[in-house]
Amino acid sequence: MQTAHEFFLHELSDMLDGERKLVEILGKQAEESARPDLKKGFQMHQRQTEGQVSRLERVFEELDAEPEAAECAGISGLQEEHDNFKQEDPAEDLLDIFNVGAAKKVERYEITAYEGLIQLAQQMRHRKAVQLLQQNLREEQQTLKKMEAFSKKLKPENMGMGEEEQNPRGRKASRRRAA
Ligand SMILES: [Fe+2]
């Protein structure tokens, strides 16, 4: 690879694969959510992500190019983290917290990726591509804010610290024993 054009098409193809994967992943996360508000949040972002896929396809049309067969290893890695975590048989509330954390990681990844794509598109003076990519970037930034608000609301039900540490009287007793 030698040219900005080749590089841009490569990065765009990677992003398109990532967004397509996310449509599937978000559907799974919506199904898994124990909280109705979270379920709705993931469903909404799934629909939004379908729109992002269409915008990326339009960028390819604008450039009169075809997407390459690319695999977004970043998003696959995050998907693998999710699948491994599920094998730990997590409680519902913990799975919700995990999924919101994963969504925040995804958004930060996507925000950085879109910023890079936009910079390249600006340097290459692809005005229409800049516009389309900026729309996707704005949606990712809004979703990150929403997920941050969710994560503040979520709290694990069971702190798992044992009775002595959860009960102030118990803690006193254990301190006395230690002294
Ligand atoms: Fe996205």
- What are the pLDDT digits (tens) for 115-161? 999 999 999 999 999 999 999 999 999 999 999 999 999 999 999 98
Helix axis angle for 4-32 and 92-123, nearest 10°, is 160
* Distance, CA of 63 to CA of 55 (rounded, Å): 13
Per-residue pLDDT at 25 exceeds 70: yes
| 100 CA → ligand 1 middle, Å | 15
Domain ranges of the chain: 4-156
Between the CA of 28 and the centroid of ligand 1 the distance, in Å, is 15
Q: How confident is the model at residue 175 (pLDDT cuts 50, 70, 90)?
A: very low
Q: What percent of the chain has pLDDT over 90?
A: 89
> Which CATH entry fits the domain spanning 4-156: 3.30.70.141, 1.10.3720.10, 1.20.1260.10, 3.40.50.720?
1.20.1260.10
pLDDT of residue 178: 46
The answer, yes or no, to whether residue 88 has pLDDT greater than 70, is: yes
pLDDT of residue 109: 97
Task: Please give the structure tokens belonging to residue 52.
Answer: 């992002």
pLDDT tens column, 63-77: 999 999 999 999 999
Q: Please give the distance, rounded to the nearest whole angstrom, from the Cα atom of residue 34 to the centre of ligand 1.
A: 23
Read off the pTM. Answer: 0.88
